[in-house]
Structure 1
Amino acid sequence: MTQSPFDKVVDRHGTHCAKWDSMESLYGVPASDGIAMWVADMDFHPPACVQKAVEDMAAHGVYGYFGDESDYKAAIAWWMQNRHGWTIEPDWIFTTHGLVNGTGLCLDTFTKEGDGVVLTTPVYHAFARTIKAAGRTVVECELALNDGYYEMDFEAWDAQMTGKETMFILCSPHNPGGRVWTRDELQGVADFCIRHDLILVSDEIHHDLVFAGHTHIPMAQFRDITDRLVMMTATTKTFNIAGTHSGNVIIEDPNLRGKFATRLAALGISPNSFGLNMATAAYSPEGAAWVDDLIAYLDGNRKLFDDTINAIPGLKSMPLEATYLAWVDFSGTGMTRQEFTDRVQKDAHIAPNHGPTFGKGGESYLRFNLATPRSIVEEACTRLRNTFSDLQ
């Protein structure tokens, strides 16, 4: 059988890699034999077109300010049209230092201190951290768990609103649950934001990593919320170039766009040339073919991991529709959070993300990053099976 390029094990130890080099200090998982499955980046090389873009920059050898973003913005527009059926104009696009920075800029531009910001928890932990640091209030609207899937619970959320909320941050597709929200669910979000007069920031960073049988719908397709919508996308998750810290805030409404442009100008924010060159190369037919191969490979990892986890009594992996982040519920074991976490970290030597960091509803969960060579996923599966062998 032909080996996939994604099967290649790349040793990231000693490369200032947060995921692998910080594992021991943060999780107590030894660097010598530990498996890092926490930070949401991949252990794969990016497509050759991206690598070539960096090599061309190095060959030129002069690293000055980036000018003329027309090719870069055209590549973004091409990608969104061809991969997502979403038509955008170049002047709608702002480049930020990643989407956590984009989130912070949205908070700074469209809210004030003390405002409530709605999160549908459990959800990506950096949202709450950024909201709190900005002096805003996190309003946790917990997702309903029905038959192992997360669902929107608008009736319950309506009852939580006090009138102090000014923004809703949506994670679409959802991290950590891996849900691809349906058209009806997204329309429900739009209606909720209109009903409560909220700016809607839609973080769609995982939108390219969707498995067969599911279709991501950009929030921008819901025309009734254009005047309150801020879209956030990036190449970084899709192509494993998170270290470039590049993201895009895309705003169609001229009023919102003007406010955001003014705030960026006031803060003196401009993009780095490496991120723009790599993104331009990535958003191409060659990059698209690589993403298709990546999704097929991740699907294999997903099936392997889920089969293992769901065969262990008391453990349940949420069915993954998108992303490479498995969300595993340990509540059926009857163990305390400390007990099952110790088994994973101290016995299996695996470093996952802890569920409570994602907010309400995450207490009995751990999140595992599956974007790594299959041999590493297989080893993690073996360790988990052995660590919980007394339950089988």
Structure 2
Amino acid sequence: MKYDFDKLIDRRGTSTYKHEFSQYYFGSDDILPLWVADMDFETPDFIMDEVIKRANHRVLGYTVPSRTMNNIIAEWIERNHNWKIHTSWIKFMSGVLPSIAVALQTFSSEGDNVIIQSPIYPPFISIPKANKRNVVFNQLKRVGNSYEMDLDDFRKKAKKGASVFIMSNPHNPAGIVWERETLKEVAEICHAYNILVISDEIHCDLVHPGHEHIPFATVSKKAREISITLMAPSKTFNIAGLGVSFCVVPDLKLRKKFYDALNALHIAHSNMFAYIGLMEAFKNGDDWLKQLKIYLRGNFALALDYINRNIPLVKPFDAKASFLLWLDFTDMGLNSKDLRKLMIEEGKIGMNNGADFGPGGEGFQRLNVGAPRTVIEDALRRIEKAVNNRGL
């Protein structure tokens, strides 16, 4: 079946996050909102049909996951990521961020150090701070239009003491697919200094053609012993509104402690439509996902070519995963506040402000290219207009 990713969907009037909060975040509703990390493509029919079928039953009472759900998850992970997991390692959750919060509360104490690698997804900063943990930045090193881990600095920070390292794998916002040797070195360091690794792998299914996602827990025995892996079909199949994710914890002691904490809070569950969405996505989603990744790669190619030809002051990062494009505006010489104002007032476009991603994010913007190609073309013209109207 040929899926239509060019179809325009008007999401206004559906309580969509990016529209409802445009006025709050940007001071205007008159913008093209490409900041929230969900896609503007239709959720595929093989998911929607089953959700509608269940809703038509007319009774929305208490519901438990199917007995086969963990098997379906395990089969998906083995088929797509070459990781053979046991079904007992899996626990269902409503989202990756609540899982991170509970893991921090379970495996660290107030005042403990938590290492993160900026520029990074902003909740990696705000969640530890909200839980009264001390955020320690192991800033990524710029290499061309990408980053690599500063493992020397990471080792120094680990040696000084930390309870948890929260890793984005693949990396958000730069779309880096971390290599096996890098992950092995992280495992060696964290194992040596008794640091739990929370590996957020929510974008793992969206690695672009020609690249491979490597789950952190697969790189060594030490990695398995110290890690909690968080995954979800929500980004992949555009079903974030269902509240669907799961944890994978290979080590028995870690697993018992973490899952006991989830059970104690009565949050290791979700709603009936979340269960249905996950199962149908992982049972029937292979071909849809293959076509989606080709389309997204086309959007990235379009954006990189357009920016390099028409907006040379802007340096785009060539992501290897996801639908998020990290844009470097630092050559314009603007501070983060003025850059953001320029994009909103002159470009009429809403992107994520790079300064929110921590040290190293100043002067950057994050653009969501998970939308029909005509929308991305419009976004690129808006960015060009804003830069040109700056008079540079």
Q: Is the 2:158–2:190 contact (alpha carbons within 8 Å) kept by the matching residues of 1? A: no
SS of the equivalent of 1:384 reads helix
Consecutive unaligned residues in structure 1, runs of 5 or more: none
Q: Does 1:230 align with 2:231?
A: no
The letter for the 2-side match of 1:169 is I
SS of the equivalent of 1:283 reads helix
The letter for the 2-side match of 1:131 is P
| 1:322 match | 321
CA shift for structure 1 position 172 = 0.4
Q: Is the 2:32–2:350 contact (alpha carbons within 8 Å) kept by the matching residues of 1? A: yes
Q: Which aligned pairs between 1:60-139 and structure 2 lie closer than 5 A?
A: 60-67=57-64, 69-139=66-136
Distance of 2:186 and 2:324 partners within structure 1: 23
Q: Which aligned pairs between 1:1-392 and structure 2 lie closer than 5 A?
A: 5-31=4-30, 34-67=31-64, 69-161=66-158, 163-222=160-219, 223-269=221-267, 270-284=269-283, 286-311=284-309, 312-389=311-388
The letter for the 2-side match of 1:72 is M
SS of the equivalent of 1:230 reads strand
- The verdict on how the C-alpha distance between 1:68 and 1:334 changes in structure 2, with shifts beyond 3 A counting, is closer
CA shift for structure 1 position 340 = 2.4
Distance of 1:15 and 1:67 partners within structure 2: 27
Q: Is the 1:163–1:196 contact (alpha carbons within 8 Å) kept by the matching residues of 2? A: no
Q: Is the 2:325–2:369 contact (alpha carbons within 8 Å) kept by the matching residues of 1? A: yes
Distance of 1:262 and 1:210 partners within structure 2: 32
Higher mean C-alpha displacement, 189-198 vs 247-256: 189-198
Q: Is the 1:41–1:242 contact (alpha carbons within 8 Å) kept by the matching residues of 2? A: yes
CA shift for structure 1 position 66 = 2.0
Which whole-Å deviations, capped at 9, do the CAs of 1:284-329 have from their partners, x for residues lacking one? 2x31111111111111111111122223132100111101000000
- RMSD after superposition: 1.6
Distance of 1:343 and 1:68 partners within structure 2: 48
SS of the equivalent of 2:56 reads helix
Distance of 2:202 and 2:365 partners within structure 1: 21
Which whole-Å deviations, capped at 9, do the CAs of 1:89-141 have from their partners, x for residues lacking one? 11111111200011111112111111111101111111111111111111111
Q: Is the 1:177–1:326 contact (alpha carbons within 8 Å) kept by the matching residues of 2? A: yes
Distance of 1:231 and 1:304 partners within structure 2: 33
Q: Count matched residues.
A: 388
Distance of 1:159 and 1:193 partners within structure 2: 11
SS of the equivalent of 2:285 reads helix
Distance of 2:139 and 2:165 partners within structure 1: 13
Distance of 2:187 and 2:155 partners within structure 1: 13
SS of the equivalent of 1:248 reads strand
The letter for the 1-side match of 2:375 is I
Higher mean C-alpha displacement, 223-232 vs 175-184: 223-232
Distance of 2:242 and 2:115 partners within structure 1: 28
Distance of 2:189 and 2:28 partners within structure 1: 43
Q: Is the 1:29–1:350 contact (alpha carbons within 8 Å) kept by the matching residues of 2? A: no
Distance of 2:245 and 2:270 partners within structure 1: 9
Q: Is the 2:335–2:362 contact (alpha carbons within 8 Å) kept by the matching residues of 1? A: no
CA shift for structure 1 position 69 = 3.3
Consecutive unaligned residues in structure 2, runs of 5 or more: none
CA shift for structure 1 position 349 = 0.7
